[in-house]
Homo-oligomer: A and B are copies of this chain.
Amino acid sequence: MLDVIRAAGTISRAGLIEATGFTGATISTVVRRLIEDGLVRETGRAESTGGKPRVLLQLNQSACYAVGVHLDHAGIAYVLTDLAGSVVARMTRAGVGEDEPPAVVTRIAEEVRSLIEGAGIDTDRLLGLGLVAPGPLSAVGGMRLTPPSMRHWEDFPLDHALQQATGLPVVLDNDATAAALGEYWSGAVTGTSSFAAVYMYTGIGTGLLINGITYAGSSGNAGEIGHVCLDTAGPHCWCGARGCTESLAGPAAVVAAAREDAQLVRAAGLSDAHRPPSLAAEFAAIARAARRGEPAAHALLERSARYLAVAARTLANLMDLELLVLTGPSLAMADSIYLPAIQEELDRTFFARAAHPVTVRLSSLAATAPAIGAATMVLQSELVPLHQGLRLPDNLAAAAEESSSRVSG
């Protein structure tokens, strides 16, 4: 219900009945409770269309907030969003690198504190913290089967440690899934509620949204487009299989191939070995070289894009997709190569192309979508129980009510 109100901006009770299919009595009850809890407020009347003017409802955006954290080897992005998923504050800090997990958790807690203080938000209004990261995660516990660069995070009880350090409820999920949710909540994707977001940073993943709800699979690990097989006799992948998209076309494969070309290493400035090289920075350097017209850099990214295009077609054929959003820093850096390659492949070989095309486009918020998605996961996981007759925790209800009366009073 909150999601319908959020998506509509303002909506009448009659509009809610139409949008949800619930009865008037049910809508009445739920709206009354949402207003009591301070999450929704009445906001004037719609123009009369013959009958009496209808009272409009809208989210009380400042009723509560959520923190979204996108953790990666190369960087940690933070956002603070309000109840509508709008970004109130954001910041980016150094990646986790080789640091030990407990030290990173301590740092995250401090950085979250400064994010909240900087925004001037009362901590009573915080619903919780969503943290998203690459690779398989279990909903409780931490990361599983991590990529090589984050192997030391495996089996670290991330949710528990973060909850202890921040005092906030913690939700964990995959960064690609969060990216899809971020696209949807931020209003960047409209007109369809089912799509896939292909996310590339240091790895490649996909977030799947079906009717506005993330499809996570049986253990939260759906959408592993980086581990789609493109060549049964291809190179061995760290995941245990052969010929995976990631091993043929991922940033690590692109950077490894570039490092074999001495001229390209010089041209792209890859040889700066003073400090441990960062995969994300090296991929970005190759993308910049390609944009400057360096043919070897262009050819490597073209090859990567063609493989990713075939993997995208496999995904589109299995899910019968209408829309594919390209997101994540690495795709955003090289969209002029990846986007046309993927669109061309789908136009030519998508199985159901006689029924409909698959539209491919670049996200307008490629860098922050996962962190926004992480925050909206908190909103969803903490607010959905309200539908089932549960109430807000007392501190939140009090804070929300106060905020509501302040705004409307």
- Residues in A lying within 8 Å of B, measured CB to CB: 21, 23, 26, 136, 138, 144-145, 192, 194, 206, 210, 215-225, 227-233, 239-241, 306-307, 310-311, 313-315, 317-322, 348-349, 351-356, 388
| Chain B contacts for A224, CB-based, 8 A | 317-318, 320, 351-352
A318 touches B219 (CB 8 A): no
A346–chain B nearest beta-carbon distance, Å: 11
Whether A232 contacts B307 in the complex (CB less than 8 A), given A219-B352, A349-B240, comes out as yes
| Chain B contacts for A217, CB-based, 8 A | 194, 319-321, 352
| Contact for A348 among B145, B240, B320, CB less than 8 A | B240
State the main secondary structure of chain A at its contact with B: loop
| Contact for A218 among B23, B194, B228, B231, CB less than 8 A | B194
| Chain B contacts for A307, CB-based, 8 A | 232
A385–chain B nearest beta-carbon distance, Å: 11
Cα-based distance from A318 to B241 in the complex (angstroms): 14
| Chain B contacts for A233, CB-based, 8 A | 231
Copies of this protein, total: 2
A406–chain B nearest beta-carbon distance, Å: 33
Cα-based distance from A387 to B312 in the complex (angstroms): 37
Pairs A–B under 8 Å by Cβ, sample size 20: A138-B355, A145-B353, A192-B218, A210-B210, A218-B322, A219-B352, A220-B320, A221-B351, A221-B355, A223-B318, A227-B317, A228-B228, A229-B230, A229-B311, A230-B231, A231-B232, A232-B306, A241-B313, A241-B349, A315-B318
A318 touches B222 (CB 8 A): yes
| Contact for A351 among B26, B227, B352, B356, CB less than 8 A | B227
The 10 tightest CB contacts between A and B, nearest first, are A217-B320, A241-B349, A221-B352, A222-B320, A219-B355, A224-B317, A218-B322, A221-B320, A145-B354, A227-B351
